[in-house]
A and B are shown apart, each in its own frame.
Chain A
Amino acid sequence: MVEPATATQAAAPAVAQLKDELDIVIPTIRNLDFLEMWRPFFQPYHLIIVQDGDPSKTIKVPDGFDYELYNRNDINRILGPKASCISFKDSACRCFGYMVSKKKYIFTIDDDCFVAKDPSGKAINALEQHIKNLLSPSTPFFFNTLYDPYREGADFVRGYPFSLREGVPTAVSHGLWLNIPDYDAPTQLVKPLERNTRFVDAVLTIPKGTLFPMCGMNLAFDRELIGPAMYFGLMGDGQPIGRYDDMWAGWCMKVICDHLGLGVKTGLPYIYHSKASNPFVNLRKEYKGIYWQEEIIPFFQQAVLPKECTSVQKCYIELAKQVKEKLSKVDPYFDKLAEAMVTWIEAWDELNPTAAAVPDGKAK
Chain B
Amino acid sequence: MSIPVKDDEIDIVIGALHADLTSFMNAWRPIFTRFHLIIVKDPDLKEELRIPEGFNLDVYKKPDIDHVVGTSTSIIFSGYSCRYFGYLVSRKKYIVSVDDDCLPAKDNKGFLVDAVAQHITNLTTPATPFFFNTLYDPFTEGADFVRGYPFSLRSGVTCALSCGLWHNLADYDAPTQALKPEERNSRYVDAVLTVPAKTLMPISGINIAFNRDAVGPALLPCLRLAGEGKFRWETMEDIWSGMCVKVICDHLGLGVKTGLPYVWRNDRGDAIASLRKEWEGVKMMEEVVPFFQLVRLPQEATTAEDCVVEVANAVKEKLGPKDPMFARTAKAMLDWVKLWKSVGVSSYSPGA
Contacts and interface: CB of A to CB of B under 8 A. Distances in A.
Interface of A: 119, 142-147, 153-164, 174, 176, 181-184, 187, 191, 194-202, 206-215, 243-244, 246-247, 250, 266, 286, 290, 293-294, 297
Nearest to A165: B176
A224 to B, nearest CB: 25
Interface string B275-299: 0000001100110010000000000
Contact of B135 (A155, A160, A181, A286): A181
B22 interface: no
A163 B284 CA distance: 12
A92 to B, nearest CB: 14
A145 B199 contact: no
22 contacts: A142-B201, A145-B202, A146-B165, A147-B189, A153-B186, A157-B171, A158-B172, A159-B236, A159-B239, A159-B281, A162-B286, A164-B289, A176-B134, A181-B144, A182-B134, A182-B147, A183-B144, A184-B146, A197-B142, A213-B149, A244-B148, A247-B147
A211 B190 contact: no
A281 to B, nearest CB: 14
Given A206-B132, A293-B151, A145 B163 contact: yes
Contacts of B151: 290, 293-294
B29 interface: no
A212 B131 contact: yes
A286 B149 CA distance: 12
Given A161-B285, A213-B147, A155 B170 contact: yes
Contact of A294 (B142, B144, B150, B190): B150
Contacts of A144: 201-202
Contacts of B236: 159
B199 to A, nearest CB: 4
Interface of B: 108, 131-136, 140, 142-153, 163, 165, 170-173, 176, 180, 183, 185-191, 195-204, 232-233, 236, 239, 242, 258, 281-282, 285-286, 289
Contact of A154 (B133, B187, B289): B187
A297 B131 CA distance: 9
B142 A198 contact: yes
Nearest to A174: B134
Contacts of A163: 286
A153 B146 contact: no
Contacts of B185: 146, 153-154
Contacts of B148: 184, 213-215, 244, 246-247, 250, 293
B147 A212 contact: no
A202 B189 contact: yes
B182 to A, nearest CB: 11
A283 to B, nearest CB: 12
A201 B142 contact: no
Contact of A142 (B140, B150, B289): B289
B271 to A, nearest CB: 11
Contact of B143 (A160, A198, A247, A266): A198
A285 B140 CA distance: 28
Most buried by A among B147, B151, B170: B147
A114 B242 CA distance: 42
Closest 9 CB pairs of A and B: A213-B148, A159-B202, A159-B239, A143-B201, A212-B132, A207-B199, A210-B196, A184-B147, A247-B148
Given A174-B134, A184-B147, A213-B149, 18 more contacts: A143-B199, A144-B201, A153-B186, A157-B171, A157-B202, A158-B232, A158-B239, A162-B285, A176-B135, A181-B143, A184-B149, A187-B144, A187-B147, A202-B191, A211-B131, A213-B148, A215-B134, A294-B150
Contacts of B145: 183-184, 187
A153 B187 contact: yes
A145 B204 contact: yes
Contact of A143 (B170, B188, B200, B281): B200
A199 B190 contact: yes
Nearest to B188: A201
A88 to B, nearest CB: 22
A184 B286 CA distance: 42
Contacts of B191: 198, 200, 202
B286 A181 contact: no
Contacts of B150: 293-294, 297
A95 B143 CA distance: 29
B135 A294 contact: no
B172 A157 contact: yes
A174 B148 CA distance: 14
Contacts of A210: 131-132, 196-199
